[in-house]
Amino acid sequence: MPFRPFLAGFLLALFQPAGLFAQPKEEEPKQKFTFKAIAFARVPGLEEIYFGEERETLRLPSRNFSQPLEYEGTYPTIFYGKKKDEEGNEIYYPVATVEVPEGLKEVILVFLSTSRKVALTGRRFQILQLDADKARFPGGGRHFVNLTTTDVGVTIGEQKILARAQSSATFVPDAKTAEAGRVPVQVHFRWEGTWRLLSSTRWTMDSRVNTLVFIFEDPIRKRISLRGITNRLSAPPPLPEESEEE
């Protein structure tokens, strides 16, 4: 009877292992970029963190940027801490995540400590990311990266800069400001329709360096903060040679 071979074939197909006819799983798309990092505040025990499939090491400096590092892995980018379990085995656990937009090849990552409440969830850092191309501007200049939800105005000598909320603006000293050498600086932020003072200081106009200025909402202090990172564009002039005494 033709029914029996059909029934046998049907039962054979029904009880085959599930993975036998399964389609091969597609690999998750990988992202690749170069990054430099800095931490505005240290988290005890997390001076070194890890990233990528090979768990490469990132030592988080707090004064200057780290050396450029290559990332190749899944999206988003996850950073890990490391500890030992009860049996003494090393295990990695996520401490921060950042979504770097596709197409960016060079990125600056700024690590901020999270509040105690957020840290209880395991998220120890908030990461701010910036296209590294924005760090390329003339010596003596400042590039203001406003990561807050309010406008920020800066007066440098007699020059004025407006960095609107969630945007950036570049300051390049004019001839008068450059010649002044050291000029007064005031930074204000807009709050409920009025301008409030954030910082009052003096800056030196040095054509050998430029400075990235981050304006951000500090998750621990719960207020707007300002932090500048200086990049040296050229080596300082050599010291004059001392004449030998006879």
Q: What is the CATH number of the domain that holds 224?
A: 2.60.40
Torsion of CA 84, 87, 88, 92, to 10 degrees: -30
Same domain assignment for residues 173 and 217:
yes
Same domain, 60 and 72: yes
Q: Is residue 144 part of a domain?
A: yes
Q: What are phi and psi of 21, to 5 degrees?
A: -105, 5
Give the sign of the dihedral formed by CA 76, CA 31, CA 49, CA 224. Answer: negative
> Are residues 132 and 148 located together in one domain of the fold?
no
230 has a pLDDT exceeding 90: no
* Distance separating alpha carbons of residues 57 and 218, to the nearest angstrom: 26
From 170, 163, 161, 101, select the one nearest 130 (Cα to Cα). Answer: 101
Selection from 188, 65, 199, 208 nearest residue 141 by Cα: 208
Based on the fold, state whether residues 97 and 154 are members of the same structural domain. Answer: no
Domain match, 131 and 181 both: no
Q: How many domains does the chain have?
A: 2
State whether 189 and 95 are in the same domain.
Answer: no
What pLDDT shows up at residue 2? 53
Residue 242 lies in a domain: no
pLDDT above 90: residue 21: no
Pairing of strands 30-39, 69-74: antiparallel
Torsion sign across C-alpha atoms 49, 55, 57, 60: negative
The domain containing residue 194 runs over which residues?
137-232
90 inside domain: yes
- Which of 136, 159, 194 is a domain's end point? 136
pLDDT for res 3 = 45
Q: Where are the alpha helices (DSSP H) in 120-222?
A: 175-180
Q: Across all residues in the chain, what is the average pLDDT? A: 84
Domain's final residue, options 115, 136, 157: 136
Residue 142 covered by a domain: yes
SS3 label, residue 79: strand
Query: What's the CA gap between 20 and 152, in Å, rounded?
Result: 61
Question: How confident is the model over 45-85, as pLDDT tens digits?
Answer: 899 999 999 999 999 998 888 999 999 998 999 999 999 98
Tell whether 49 is covered by a domain. Answer: yes
The burial of 124, by beta-carbon neighbours within 10 Å (0-12 exposed, 13-18 middle, 19 or more buried), is given as: buried
Query: CA angle 141-144-148, nearest 5°?
Result: 175
Inform me whether the pLDDT recorded for 238 exceeds 60.
Answer: no
Q: Are residues 32 and 109 in the same domain?
A: yes
**136, 160, 193 — which closes off a domain?**
136
Question: Looking at the structure, do residues 190 and 127 belong to the same domain, yes or no?
Answer: no
> What is residue 95's predicted lDDT score, i.e. its pLDDT?
95
pLDDT above 60 (res 154): yes
> Is the domain of 177 the same as that of 127?
no
Task: Tell whether 38 and 97 lie within a shared domain.
Answer: yes
Residues 148 and 219 reside in one and the same domain: yes
Alpha carbon distance 227, 243 (integer Å): 43
Q: Which amino acid is at 181?
A: G
Average pLDDT on 133-151 reads 90
Residues 221-241 have a mean pLDDT of 73
Lowest-pLDDT choice from 151-155, 190-194, 229-233: 229-233
Residue 162 lies in a domain: yes
d(CA 59, CA 162): 34
Task: Please check whether residues 194 and 125 belong to one and the same domain.
Answer: no
- 12 located within any domain: no
Mean pLDDT of 155-162: 96
Question: Is residue 124 in some structural domain?
Answer: yes
Predicted confidence band at 234 (pLDDT cuts at 50, 70, 90)?
A: low
Is the separation of the CB atoms in 48 and 39 below 8 Å? no
Q: What is the pLDDT of residue 11?
A: 42
Using alpha carbons, list the distances in angstroms from residue 59 to 26, 37, 77, 114, 186. 33, 9, 16, 18, 34
